[in-house]
């Protein structure tokens, strides 16, 4: 399922949650696939204010025991790429998603600056559920 930038902006959202020493984010989207793309957009917004240069695309594959663990592993892949390659996600297309596996095509671009270094997504307080027709997630990021 490909999510356009307009679809993500119009139907999805994220916000910071108060959390001691770490960062918490709440995500919302009309689909579970969209939630992963919103997570990538939120991640990018937290780590940098600006990207520059050529874009590169890569597949992100993750497996887990449930969809919440997939979100943690997906974000940890983004954190690894941000740390090692100094690149932020700028687009996301979830190719396939099941209860225990995700494949997403993510486009990255070099960061002009690093605003916040995110070390890892954590399982602490992890939530991933459907409420009133919308998919929501809460996740804590180790900074």
**pLDDT tens-place string over residues 30-46:** 999 999 999 999 999 99
| Other Cβ atoms closer than 10 A to 128 | 19
pLDDT at 18 (0 to 100): 64
Percent of the chain with pLDDT over 90: 82
Q: Which of 57, 84, 62 is nearest to 74 (CA)?
A: 62
Task: State the Cα–Cα distance between residues 128 and 139, nearest whole angstrom.
Answer: 9
Measured between alpha carbons, how far is residue 137 from residues 6, 11, 78, 128 in Å?
21, 15, 17, 4
Calculate the dihedral angle through the C-alpha atoms of 96, 39, 56, 58, rounding to the nearest 10 degrees: -30
Task: State the Cα–Cα distance between residues 143 and 141, nearest whole angstrom.
Answer: 6
Q: Which of 15-24, 31-40, 80-89, 129-138 has the lowest mean pLDDT?
A: 15-24
Residue 89 pLDDT level (bands cut at 50, 70, 90): very high
Residue 15 pLDDT level (bands cut at 50, 70, 90): confident
Q: Is the pLDDT of residue 106 over 60?
A: yes
Percent of the chain with pLDDT over 70: 87
Q: Is the pLDDT of residue 9 over 60?
A: no
pLDDT at 8 (0 to 100): 46
Task: State the Cα–Cα distance between residues 73 and 104, nearest whole angstrom.
Answer: 12
Residue holding tokens 């592993």?
73
For residues 93 and 105, the answer to whether their CB atoms sit within 8 Å is yes
Task: State the Cα–Cα distance between residues 40 and 5, nearest whole angstrom.
Answer: 12
């Amino acid at each position: 399922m490909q999510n356009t930038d307009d679809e993500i902006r119009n139907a999805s959202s994220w916000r910071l949650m108060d959390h001691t020493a770490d960062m918490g984010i709440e995500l919302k989207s009309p689909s579970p696939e969209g939630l992963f793309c919103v997570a990538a957009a939120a991640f990018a917004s937290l780590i940098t204010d600006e990207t520059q240069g050529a874009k590169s695309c890569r597949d992100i594959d993750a497996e887990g025991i449930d969809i919440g663990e997939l979100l943690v592993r997906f974000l940890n892949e983004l954190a690894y790429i941000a740390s090692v390659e100094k690149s932020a996600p700028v687009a996301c297309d979830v190719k396939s998603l099941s209860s225990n596996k995700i494949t997403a095509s993510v486009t990255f671009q070099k960061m002009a600056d690093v605003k916040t270094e995110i070390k890892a997504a954590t399982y602490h307080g992890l939530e991933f559920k459907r409420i009133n027709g919308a998919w929501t997630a809460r996740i804590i990021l180790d900074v």
